[in-house]
Structure 1
Amino acid sequence: MSASASTPEQVEAPVEPGLYLYGLVMPDARVPDGLTGVSGGAVRTVSLGPVTALVSDVADMELIGLPDEVRAHGAVLDAVALSGCSVLPVQFGTTAPDVDALASGLPVPRLEAYSDRLRELAGVVQLSLTARYDEDAVIAELVDEEPEIRRLRDLTRGQPEAATYGERVRLGELVVAGFERKRAADADFLARRLAPLAVEVRHREVGQVDTVLDAALLVRRDAVRRLEDGLEDVAAGIFPRIALRLVGPQAPYDFAEEV
């Protein structure tokens, strides 16, 4: 006869409902109706004196972090920015148990500083610009320009990888260095063309070999069309070697101090 071990009952973690915080707007901001946010919650406003908070109810403050929730957070902020309101984004995943806890966590001096920053951001929006190479076009340029790249390309073409391992490594190094050299010149060209079209440009770190530029542009609302027209002129002169992609208007994620 065998003895059976008893299994302790699983204890479920307590559910903690609360408020999810998206961002801050001015008290007189006309926020679009019908916005839904994280977990499908209806977005509403909560007055905090000098500013107003954008919040929604969440059933459990520990259930934040899925990709859909990240997208919902950004969609709320971008919809508010697109409507014409200046908005200060709050870090994704920020929650509070209730309105009183939210208010007590933001002292008046900080709220007044946020109000000042919102006034500074009135009338501007962010757009994000990426520029990417057509890799085949740039590699063809490098083959034409650099005899060593051409020699190694010809030497390794159609040969077993194991037999030409060293040459392939060297070829890869030269190609990457060639992309970096061209990127520096092309990114400088694009930055000079962007400068007159934006209030401010902030460059993000480039992580991919084919990325020429990844930048956030702070643009006056009444100058967005001018920026788009200017970029179309630039794109016409560099396509298909470089392709531009413009996203926005967005909330000023790159230009607002994190709340």
Structure 2
Amino acid sequence: MKNKNLHESGRYLYAITDVTEHPVCGDIGINGAAVYTVSQGPVAAVVSDITEKRIRPERKNLVAHHTVVKRMMEEATVLPVAFGAIADSPKAVREILKENRDVFVDQLDRVHGKVEMGLRVVWDVPNIFEYFVNHHPELAVLRDEVMGNQRGPSQADKLELGRLFDRLLAQDRERHTEVVVEVLTPHCADIKRNQPREEREVMHLACLVGRGAQKGFEDGVFAAANLFDSHFAFDFNGPWAPHHFVHVALEV
């Protein structure tokens, strides 16, 4: 069997950028491959050569993918491409850029000079249900009624208690999120509210922030945190590429 040579390799895509003449970024790509750009008009794709037709989402590959995106975003505006996109050839990459040119240009303009910052707020309590019982009298009353039943709580009683807890949880999340968003809005070009990933999570925000406004954003987070008591923990992170504010759907 003949080994595939360079001409038979595909191009792994990491990101789309408006820097069309960028030097090779070094051998930091998947499988240690050199990273460079393939340009078409006002946009370019950040790529590396790859012989595989598909790439497994193993830790080393994911790390390489995100390392390239992070390195590029330090010097340019980027639209991160979802992990695993492989084009057959440089020509195929240029076709992708040509077909999606207007969409890419619009999105690059939208996030130009900006980065994504994340903010996660959680209830820092040992038992979230007991915390809500202590802060919502109606939940405490229903809990006592359900648990005080001498025959034991019925399935219907448990469901009613659970529905009330879920409703109060959603209401408190919304109310707390509105407070934080109001404080952060002056420091952000856009804010996206993501679905909480666990019961204790109050909010999970993605914030689009100007590169020169990161200090103001951090100050805003501290100002918002001061409006809450010790039962809330604030954690912000970034800067990242603007994953939550762009959509790069490629057919490769």
Q: How many residues align?
A: 242
**Cα distance, 1:186 vs. partner?**
0.8
**Cα distance, 1:41 vs. partner?**
2.6
| Rounded Cα–Cα distance in structure 2 between residues aligned with 1:106 and 1:213 | 36
1:43 is matched with which residue? 35
Please state if 1:209 is matched with 2:209: no
Deviation by residue 1:183-209 (Cα, 9 ceiling, x = unmatched) = 121111112112111011121223432
Q: Point out where structure 1 has 5 or more consecutive residues left out of the alignment.
A: 1-13
Deviation by residue 1:119-160 (Cα, 9 ceiling, x = unmatched) = 442211111222212243673353353255256359749x9x
1:24 is matched with which residue? 16
Structural RMSD (CA) = 3.2
Aligned residues of 2:20 and 2:38 also touching (Cα < 8 A): no
Specify which of 117, 120, 134 is matched with residue 143 of structure 1. Answer: 134
1:45-64 alignment, distance < 5 Å: 45-64=37-56
1:177 is matched with which residue? 167
Aligned residues of 1:31 and 1:80 also touching (Cα < 8 A): no
**Cα distance, 1:78 vs. partner?**
2.4
Matched AA of 1:80: M
SS of match in other structure, 2:246: coil
Please state if 1:128 is matched with 2:118: yes
| Rounded Cα–Cα distance in structure 1 between residues aligned with 2:108 and 2:248 | 13
Matched AA of 1:232: F
SS of match in other structure, 2:72: helix
TM-score by structure 2 length?
A: 0.80
Please state if 1:97 is matched with 2:67: no
| Rounded Cα–Cα distance in structure 2 between residues aligned with 1:79 and 1:152 | 53
**Cα distance, 1:210 vs. partner?**
1.9
**Cα distance, 1:53 vs. partner?**
1.5
| Rounded Cα–Cα distance in structure 2 between residues aligned with 1:173 and 1:69 | 43
Matched AA of 2:240: Q
Matched AA of 2:49: D
TM-score by structure 1 length?
A: 0.78
Deviation by residue 1:30-82 (Cα, 9 ceiling, x = unmatched) = 5784362333333222222322211112231223333443343233212322x
SS of match in other structure, 1:254: helix
2:238 is matched with which residue? 248
Q: Which structure has the larger Rg? A: 1
1:7 is matched with which residue? none
Specify which of 165, 178, 197 is matched with residue 187 of structure 2. Answer: 197
Deviation by residue 1:89-138 (Cα, 9 ceiling, x = unmatched) = 2232111122122113332x632542353244221111122221224367
Q: Point out where structure 2 has 5 or more consecutive residues left out of the alignment.
A: none
